[in-house]
Structures are given as structure tokens and as C-alpha cells.
Amino acid sequence: MSFSSTIKDELARLQNDKQCCRWAEFAGLLRTGLTLRKLHNKKSLLFITEHASVSRLLYAHTKEITYRAPEISGEKNARLKKHVVYRLNFRKGFETDKGKQFLDSIGIHVGLAEDRLEYSNLVLSSQCCIRAYLRGVFLASGSIINPDKSYHLEMAFMDKGIAEETILLMESFQLKPKRITRKGYEVVYMKEGQDIVDFLNVIGAHNALMEMENIRILKEMRNQVNRIVNCETANLEKIVNASVKQVETIKQLDEVMGIENLPVGLKEIARLRLENPEASMSELGKMLRPVLGKSGVNHRLRKLEKLLKERMNGEIQ
């Protein structure tokens, strides 16, 4: 089961004790996922979902509000043959006065055209209802990539106004969604891990939130280890490259003038470097008596380089 499916199953099973929140959740589902189609020369209000838990939730909400159950049919997804697509037809439920009244109250209107719905503004009076509404919106149109791979949550809307309305509601919780147009849909999305975690908290997906937080912690630990390893590798490469150059310098000096003819301090560091090509400057300094700091070792090795250049250029008298 995908991470999106796991979240939707969790959300669809949440118990809403307050009627206002149940209605707000239903409003989010319908304003986002309801479509107007013509079937058998009749207008039909359809909701299509791949999630059985979402179809059951819609069934329960419709029965509570209209006293009539939607017609449900299931068929294999032509693209993903293992998945069943559930088609809910609300024609009977929303033909009743109570059903029409509810649609009107949540700002859904059957337009003059036969293939689209029209929407008016929806007023949600409390934070709990806004949370429930956003939960319904995600159940109808949301998806989230497995956080093991990357951070990306999005909701796709057929209506630009509904997308803008959703952004405003999300911003009321200090979330920072972005919007793009993709293949005729208005897509509201978030790519920051913390924003996604905060949104899951808003809509009540607490189990998914904890799972994502655990994944984030593990990813951060892995990234930290990788940064340390990369840093150590880079430092090791620098040490090796510097050591190779220093050893070559000392060998050339030995050829042109002999290490034994170097001043005592330079002779000592030259021998240590030849004997310990893998050692860092700090480690070389600790081998000296008295102990010499990293900067002191570096100074002596640079003097060896300078001495070689002077010898090669014939500048030493």
C-alpha cells in the first residue's frame, strides 16, 4: 500500500463527533471531487476514487444528510489493472430537497452547461471545521510521495477558485503552499518536509505524521553521517596529496644537497615525513621532541619547498 493510501485510510476512519465537522469534511470531499456527467441522457453527480475507505466515508455522509445512499460501482483501473476504481453516483441523493439544500449550503450549484459545476464561496466558522474541510479536500484530491524518496504533497483541483480557497485556508495555519497549473488542473503543493508534517497534523493524520517524522529523523542522521564521511574523505585526500608533494620535495632535496646537510630542525621533519607519509601535520608535530604544533610543522615543510626552489634556481651561494 502506498504512503498516500495509508494516510487516506487513516483519515477516512477518523470519528467526527461534531455534526458541523462531518458536514465540513463532506463539503471538502464534494467541492473537490464531485463532477457533473451526462449518463443515459441524464445529468449525474459522480465521485470517482481508488480508495475503498473513501467510498465508504462518502456513502456514510450521504446517507446521514440525504437519507439516500449513492449508487456504487467498482471496476478495474484500465491503467493499473490490480486497482479497483469506485464510482459513486449521487443523482438520487441530491435530487431530494434535503440534498439540494445541502449542496446549496456548501456552495455547489449545477451550472447551465451540462458538463460542469459552479461554486460560490464557502464560509467555515471554526478551526475544527476548517481542519475537517481540508481533510476532505485531501481525501478527494491529495497525494503524497513516500518520504523515504522525497518530500512532496499535492492536491489537484479542476476549479481555480477552489484551489485559491484551499490555499487561504492552509495559510490560516501558517502553512506555505504553492500553486502551479498542470494539464488543465490547478495543483496546490508543498515540498518542505516540515510543511507537510504540519499539514498532516492539521488534517488529523497523526499516525502518518509520526511515521514521516521517524523517516525524517533517519534521513537526517544518514545525511549527517554522509556529510561527516565526505568531509573526512576530503580531508584525507588533502593530507595524501600534500604528503605526496612533500615527500617528492624531500627526495629531490636529498638528491641535490643531501638530507644530512639540512639544518637540524628541517632534517628532523624531513626524515619524519619520509618515514610517515600517511601522517597529518598534527601527527607529525607530536612525533617531534619537543612537540611542535601544526603551524610549526607546516612552516618547516614550506621552508623545505623554498629551499628546493632556491637550489634548483641556483640561488644558494
Does the pLDDT value for residue 317 go beyond 80? Answer: no
Does the pLDDT value for residue 115 go beyond 80? Answer: no
CA–chain centroid gap for 260, Å, is: 63
Task: Map grid coordinates 476548517 to a residue.
Answer: 130
Give the CA dihedral 127, 53, 141, 145, nearest 10 degrees: 100
State pLDDT tens for residues 72-85: 888 776 665 567 88
Q: Average pLDDT, stretch 259-268?
A: 88
Does the pLDDT value for residue 224 go beyond 60? Answer: yes
Q: Which residue has the higher pLDDT, 101 or 190?
A: 190
Cα–Cα distance for residue pair 51/54, rounded to 1 Å: 5
Does the pLDDT value for residue 218 go beyond 60? Answer: yes
38-52, 102-116, 238-252: segment of lowest average pLDDT: 102-116
CA–chain centroid gap for 277, Å, is: 45
Q: Average pLDDT, stretch 276-281?
A: 86
Q: Which residues pair with 179 in a beta bridge?
A: 188
The pTM is what? 0.72
Does the pLDDT value for residue 168 go beyond 60? Answer: yes
- pLDDT confidence of residue 31: 93
For the domain made up of 3-204, give the CATH fold. Answer: Endonuclease I-creI (3.10.28)
Residue 112 dihedral angles phi and psi, to the nearest 5°: -70, -35
Residue 284 dihedral angles phi and psi, to the nearest 5°: -65, -40
Domain ranges for the chain: 3-204, 220-312
Q: Average pLDDT, stretch 115-131?
A: 87
Full DSSP string of 270-286: HHHHHH-TT--HHHHHH
Does the pLDDT value for residue 315 go beyond 70? Answer: no
Q: How does residue 316 score in pLDDT terms, banded at 50, 70 and 90? A: very low
